[in-house]
Structure 1
Amino acid sequence: MSEFKVLFTFKVWDELAHYLRDNLAKYTNLNLIMPADDDEDTILNLASQADVLFGWRPKIELLNKAEKMKLFIQPGTGAEHLVKVFKKYGRKSDVIITNGHGHAYEVAQHALGMLLALTNHIVGYHNQMVDGKWRIRESMSEGLKNKKIGFLGYGPINQFIHKFLSPFTSDFSILKRTRDIELEASLSSKIKFYTTKEKHEFLQRLDVLIIAAPRTKKTENMIGEEELQMLGKNAYLLNVGRGPIINEKALYMALKKQVIKGAAIDVWYNYQPQEINGKTYPYDSNHPFHELENIILSPHRAGSPFGDLSRWDENIQNLITLAEERNDFINVIDLQEEY
């Protein structure tokens, strides 16, 4: 069998290195290269002999250096950077590009926590207690029982959120780019399915909208002023997909004017914010979300727990597929669809 050199472009910590080597030990044709020094020059010098690059956010210089590359594995989900850089890459049609969804359970768990904190006003109650204000008003908590919940996107994250929310309600709707007959047949007949052409009908029936979709040309600004008005003043919104799926100004104004009841947001608009007076916020200064009371703010940390090494299993599976010289890779990114 052919030998494949797998170059890790980040510093692999000991626990992960052992996990990867243990799970791939029988595949002696995989040469796992984990540099002790992951500076850019070291990685570039090693890239010319690599059959696989394994890491995040590659630069075009690295891709061009990796002349033998057959496979690129990104452990995380976000595909927008990969799409952008690979579209500039001359050999893009020859290279299989994959990402990972191994953190989907953790993201879904975080999302559920945010949603319950929002609907039950947990943060507000906590702050009242910190300020020594004991039961100063009637309960503002609102249950999820029998709420109409809609999923924009139905990949692994929203599938887990769906399972977590099933004890609360049975009224679910799913919006996907196209109809998926196999998926629909596998789920309850009570679930309502919509395509993007039916977006307005989908939104008008919801009490809670949960977004876990990739950022593409088709999804950017998919939710704007009109769509937020359709959700209405009693609706909640949760976003663990990508910030720009919701128009920034429209979201801020909808919350400020109480066009919708509240939002829980883990994904934002500016990931290189400038520090102002010792503070940094990942959104436009004209949209001070932190001043609003009807929002739960989270710093894109839903998928952060790295202690569960099983999150790497999908990436390991793709390396096994390569080692066995098969072609049935999972989580392959389509550059045309942008995810």
Structure 2
Amino acid sequence: MNKSILFVNRPKGKPSLDDFKIVEEDDPQPGDGELLLKSVYISVDPYLRGRMRDEESYIPPFELNEPLESMVVAEVMESKNEHFKRGEYVSGMLKWKEYQTSRGNGLNKVDKNAAALSAYLGILGLTGLTAYLALEKIGNLKEGETLLVSGAAGAVGSVAGQIGKLRGCKVVGIAGSDEKIDHIEFKFGYDEGINYKSTDNMAEAIHTACPDGVDVYFDNVGGEILDAALANINKDARIINCGAIASYNEKKIPTGPRPEGALIKNTALMQGFLIRDHAKDFGLAIRQLATWLQEGKLRYDETVVEGFENTPQAFLDLFDGKNQGKMVVKV
């Protein structure tokens, strides 16, 4: 029997295991033009929390009593589609199922000999692409500038910091433990780190770490840390709004300092970034990331959780910071 993970309850605040249900169903059979796919790695990401709300957004919400979906690396077990062969590996937005069929739309072939299969969900997947393209499209980094990154030990933040160093910037990272600060400095080359959990005054801590001010702020968390970063931005600074995990589980939208004063005074740009808007640039970006990776100029972390049935818990663990780098489930 095939296993599938259903979304059965819209959470109020932080999600729990009660919001998911594992069911068994008949094994799928591919029809003409279809593939039979076996999930190998499943990506769990904070943005999935937004799809649990029944509200209009840039992507449709999850339907109750239907399988969730995210990026998955899968093996082609059987093919009735001329564009794919048995034994090939693909990545794409797929259901949380052990086995499923697909017509191949939106699937990209991946080479298991070029990189570990899980890397196509991380540094060579949407997280690496997000870091690279957000800095290219909005960050517009210049040599000698200061780049500040929140969520610096995470999958996106760790790549963003390394790209900043490759572009000749001073890079300061914000993370949630002394261990993570040591890690981003020694493994990813950050010049300095700030542990926000042990810091009473974030604006002052950012000022100390960035005495020349912040030229580019790569924001993965939002909330009070964004407020503190805005208090330290330079003339013509660029703020990339990539994530807001600090408020994902809030029942009401929190109110904080208003940003317009800092933006006007510094003629700064603050812009949201959605990776799905830049699909036409994926090919070039992946080639650059892969080149840096092969040259040893990029490193990455991943947290691998074993077992398909542990996918919901792996997702929940993101909100407690239990991952180091990209969180994936090995089916």
Higher-Rg member (1/2): 1
More strand per residue: 2
